[in-house]
Amino acid sequence: MKTKLFLLFTCCCSFFIVSHAFAQKDFIETLKGDTIRGKLRNGFVMGTGPADELKFKKLEDSKFVTIKTDTLKSYFRSADSALFVLMKMPYAEEARLVKKLENGRIELFEDYSASSGAVSATGIYSARGTISTWYARLDGGQLLEIKTNDTAISGSKREQREKNLYGLLADDQQLLDKFKKRSFSFDNIRDCIKKYNSLHRAKK
C-alpha cells in the first residue's frame, strides 16, 4: 500500500514538474540566432512599446537576470502571446523591435511610440499616450504603413494607407470588395488580413 502511494506521489510530482516546464513557453532569441526558453518578466512599457530591458530566467535557473532588448532579435511573452521581432522600419535607419500581430502571406506588425499631445488638422487634441501604427507586407516584400491612431496625422495620409492595404489584398478582389464596404478600423483590418491568410497559403 505504501509502495503504491509512493509511486502515485512520484508520478504526480513528475507530472507537475513536466507541466510546469511546458507552461513556461517564453523565449528570447539573441542577435546570433540562439533561442533560449524560460520565463519572461515584463518586456513591455505602456506608452512606449518594447522595454529597454527585461527580466528573464532560463528553465534550468532559479534567478532572473536583466537583459537589454537591443541584444535580442526577438522575444515571446506567453502571458499575452506577444511576439516582438527586430524589423527595419521605413522611417528609421536602425532596426527596432515591433510587435508581430499576424503571420502568413500578409504579415502584420504594430509599432509603438509615445505621444506628447498634439492638435490635429481638424482641431482635435490628443493627450499624451501611446501611438500605435500598423505596418504590413506581402510575401516578405516592402513594409507599408496601413493604419495609425495618431490623430495629429491620421487624416493627412489616410488615402495612401488605404491604398497600401488595398494593394496587399489586390489578388483577392472578392475579399477586397467586401472589406471596402466596412469601416477602415483596426479590428476590421486585422480580421480581413486573417481571412486573407486563411485563404491564401504562403508561397514557398
Q: Note down pLDDT in tens along the chain; length 204 residues.
A: 544 444 444 444 433 333 343 344 899 999 999 999 999 987 665 445 677 888 999 999 999 999 999 999 999 999 889 999 999 999 989 999 999 999 999 999 999 887 655 444 434 444 457 889 999 999 999 999 999 998 776 566 889 999 999 999 999 999 999 999 999 999 999 999 999 999 998 655
Least Cα distance to 134 among 170, 163, 95, 161 occurs for 161
Residues 107, 100: Cα–Cα separation, whole Å: 8
Predicted model pTM: 0.78
Judgement on whether residues 93 and 67 belong to the same structural domain of the protein: no
pLDDT of residue 114: 73
Domain boundary among 71, 96, 128: 71
Calculated CA dihedral for residues 152, 156, 160, 164, nearest 10 degrees:
10
Is residue 121 located within the same domain as residue 152? yes
Which DSSP state fits 197? H
Same domain, 198 and 129: yes
Q: Do 101 and 67 have their domain in common?
A: no
- The whole-angstrom separation of Cα 158 and Cα 147 is 8
Listed in sequence order, the DSSP H helices in the chain are 2-23, 158-168, 173-180, 186-199
Q: How far apart are CA 145 and CA 125, in angstroms?
A: 23
All residues at 6 or more sequence positions from 10 whose CB lies less than 8 Å from its CB, including other chains: none
Are 116 and 185 in a shared domain? Answer: yes
Torsion angles phi and psi, residue 159, rounded to 5: -60, -40
Q: Residue 40: which domain range?
A: 24-71
Tell me whether residue 196 is in a domain.
yes
Take residue 49 and report the three cell numbers written for it.
512599446
151 shares a domain with 52: no
Q: Are residues 163 and 101 in the same domain?
A: yes
Residues 179 and 103 occupy one common structural domain: yes
pLDDT of res. 202: 64
Whether 17 maps to a domain, the answer reads no
Tell whether 47 and 94 lie within a shared domain.
no
Give the pLDDT of residue 128: 54
> Do 107 and 204 lie in a common domain?
yes
- Residue at 163 is within a domain: yes
57, 95: one domain = no
State residue 18's pLDDT score.
Answer: 36
Asked if residue 195 and residue 95 are part of one domain, the reply reads yes
Classify residue 11: in a domain, yes or no. no
Is residue 80 in some structural domain?
A: no
Residue 114 forms part of a structural domain: yes
Q: 31 Cβ partners below 8 Å, 6+ apart? A: 71, 72, 73, 86
Give the integer Cα–Cα distance in Å for 191 and 161: 17
| Total number of domains in the chain | 2
The pLDDT of residue 19: 37
